[in-house]
A and B are shown apart, each in its own frame.
Chain A
């Protein structure tokens, strides 16, 4: 089903463009032109986030924090095997995906832990990455509140994920 969404969408757009007598080639290249400045403008912010994540992992702070928080997470219903996933998700999507496949291998794809990890992975976004990219070069500096709100909401959905996977 989902495989059809994009091709159908593209088809509609191009057919409509011809119908409206818009020059499709010119319009496409005009839009695509801005891709490079876009990517260049977000690169420094990406570099910042990735350097931070790398150091966070390499120094062992991330596993230390995970060990420290595991008992508290346990009380909220988050299994200790998933603590690291919950912690890394706001920082790095690829890091979380790597952890996810690790969990699949260790505990089996269809185990409770693996399903729960999938839901945690799918239900929240990489908050810091989005903050860095969306506000690349933006004047708004007061991001603390929106970031905290997003983190709280994501964390709540992790707790919910662990609960719902018990019954579904």
Chain B
């Protein structure tokens, strides 16, 4: 990340120095402004979803649900701590349903939870790739845009989109399986025990 960031910033600034020096600071500021306005939106969206998740946790629904998805999670991510498993299950289902506001807070919580335990590098990498190549059933923002621009059949992109997103997820998962080793001697001997 540091390499990419450094390279892009240096190169862009150097070019802008010759073509329009004023644009350098302007770009920095407008980038910051965009980040702020997105953050404001995110506060609201997160408040709603985290509130609902608060309820889910208190009622115990989330761990029930996670238990349902556990075999699938185990297959994909290997052994993970139970609390992380809860968050991951919620994140993956929110991804599939296309609830983009809900995926991010659960994703961050999953990573934070995974990081507390040694030997979860593989699970973290796999979790990131699954999120980055997300399987989404209904591309709602595209559908809305197509409808508003007067498309004759806005829905005819749904099936190709599902297929394409499946392709990216499957390739992503296979590449993780090929290139990132499940090297955790700790957990192989002793799977995570239920906390509390």
Contact = CB atoms under 8 A, between A and B. Distances in A.
Contacts of A46: 35, 38-39
Interface residues of A, number: 88
Interface stretch (B66-74, B76-84, B96-104, B182-190): B96-104
Query: What is the size category of the interface that chain B forms with chain A?
Result: 35 or more
Contact of A146 (B44, B48, B176): B176
A127 to B, nearest CB: 5
Contacts of B124: 140, 146
Secondary structure of the B contact surface, majority rule: helix
A35 B50 contact: yes
Contacts of A39: 39-40, 42-43, 46
Contacts of A124: 133, 165, 168
A149 B105 CA distance: 23
Contact of B142 (A55, A100, A110, A134): A100
B157 A115 contact: yes
Contacts of B28: 51, 54-55
A130 B128 contact: yes
Considering the complex of A and B, which 6 residue pairs feature the smallest CB-CB distances, nearest first? A31-B54, A51-B31, A157-B168, A123-B164, A122-B139, A153-B172
Interface of A: 2, 5-6, 10, 13-14, 16-17, 20, 22, 24, 27-36, 38-40, 42-43, 46-56, 58-61, 94, 97, 100-101, 104-105, 109-110, 115, 118-125, 127-128, 130-136, 138-140, 142-143, 145-147, 149-150, 152-154, 156-158, 160-161, 164-165, 168
